[in-house]
C-alpha cells in the first residue's frame, strides 16, 4: 500500500470511528441535551480500523470527550454492523465513565475493568470490580447494568450470589452527607 492510500484509509477509518463514538455519546434523555450536539475529541496513543471486521480500536491512555461525557480507558473498541454501532467496549485498570445527566443534578460516575455500551438498548454494563455512584449513593458489584434512557440501575447477578459475590450499597442521609464533606 502506498503512502497516499494509507493516509486516505486512515482518515476514513478515523472519521468512521468518530461517527461511531458520536452514537455512544448521544445518550437520549439521561445526558445533557447539548451533549449530542458537541464535537467528539478522542485522544489515544494509537488508533486503527479494520474495515472487514467493522471494528475500530483505540489503545493507550484513551480519553474520549463529548460535552459533559468523559470516558477514560486503556483500550476502547467500537464494533459496528453495516455502519451502525452494535457495541463499544472500554477496558482499563479501571475504565471510567462520567456524565452530567441534567443541569443542577450530581454527575454520574462509573468504573469497571470492562465496560460495555449497547447504544440501541441505551444500556451500559460495568463488570469486574464495578462501581456506579451519584452524589452520596454508591453501588458496587462484579456486574452493574445502567439504563441511560430511564436512569435505572441494576446490580448483581443471580450467579454472583452463588459465587459469594454480593452487591454493596452506600446511601448517606442528607444531613450526614453534609457533615462528612
Instruction: Give the DSSP per-residue string, 130-171.
Output: EEEEETTEEEEEEEEEEETTTTEEEE--HHHHHTT---EEEE
Residue whose C-alpha is closest to residue 40's, from 52, 60, 58: 58
> How much is the pLDDT for 121?
78
User: Which of residues 167 and 181 earns the better pLDDT score?
Assistant: 167
Could you identify the residue written with the cell 452463588?
Answer: 162
> How high is the mean pLDDT of the chain?
75
* Grid coordinates belonging to 139: 453501588
Q: Is the pLDDT of residue 140 over 80?
A: yes
Q: Is the pLDDT of residue 65 over 70?
A: yes
* Grid coordinates belonging to 165: 459475590
> How much is the pLDDT for 123?
79
Cα separations in angstroms, 55 against 20, 76, 78, 82, 166 = 10, 10, 5, 11, 34
Look at the chain and report how many structural domains it folds into.
Answer: 1
CB 60 within 8 A of CB 74: yes
> How much is the pLDDT for 25?
42
65-69, 88-92, 176-180: which is most confident: 88-92
* Grid coordinates belonging to 149: 434512557
Say which CATH number the domain at 80 has: 2.60.450.10
Q: Which residue range(s) make up the domain with 118? A: 3-180
Please write the tens of the pLDDT for every residue from 79-115.
Answer: 989 877 788 899 999 999 888 877 788 888 999 999 9
Amino acid at each position: 500500500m502506498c503512502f497516499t492510500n494509507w493516509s486516505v484509509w486512515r482518515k476514513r477509518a478515523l472519521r468512521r470511528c468518530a461517527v461511531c463514538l458520536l452514537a455512544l455519546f448521544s445518550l437520549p434523555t439521561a445526558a445533557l441535551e447539548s451533549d449530542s450536539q458537541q464535537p467528539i475529541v478522542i485522544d489515544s496513543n494509537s488508533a486503527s480500523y479494520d474495515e472487514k471486521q467493522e471494528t475500530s480500536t483505540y489503545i493507550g491512555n484513551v480519553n474520549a470527550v463529548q460535552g459533559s461525557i468523559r470516558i477514560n480507558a486503556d483500550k476502547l473498541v467500537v464494533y459496528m454492523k453495516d455502519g451502525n454501532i452494535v457495541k463499544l467496549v472500554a477496558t482499563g485498570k479501571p475504565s471510567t465513565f462520567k456524565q452530567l445527566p441534567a443541569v443542577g443534578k450530581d454527575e454520574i460516575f462509573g468504573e469497571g475493568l470492562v465496560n460495555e455500551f449497547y447504544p440501541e438498548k441505551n444500556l451500559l454494563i460495568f463488570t469486574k470490580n464495578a462501581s456506579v455512584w451519584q452524589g452520596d449513593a454508591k453501588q458496587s458489584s462484579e456486574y452493574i447494568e445502567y439504563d441511560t434512557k430511564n436512569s435505572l440501575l441494576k446490580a448483581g447477578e443471580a450467579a454472583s450470589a452463588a459465587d459469594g459475590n454480593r452487591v454493596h450499597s452506600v446511601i448517606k442521609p442528607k444531613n450526614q452527607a453534609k457533615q462528612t464533606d
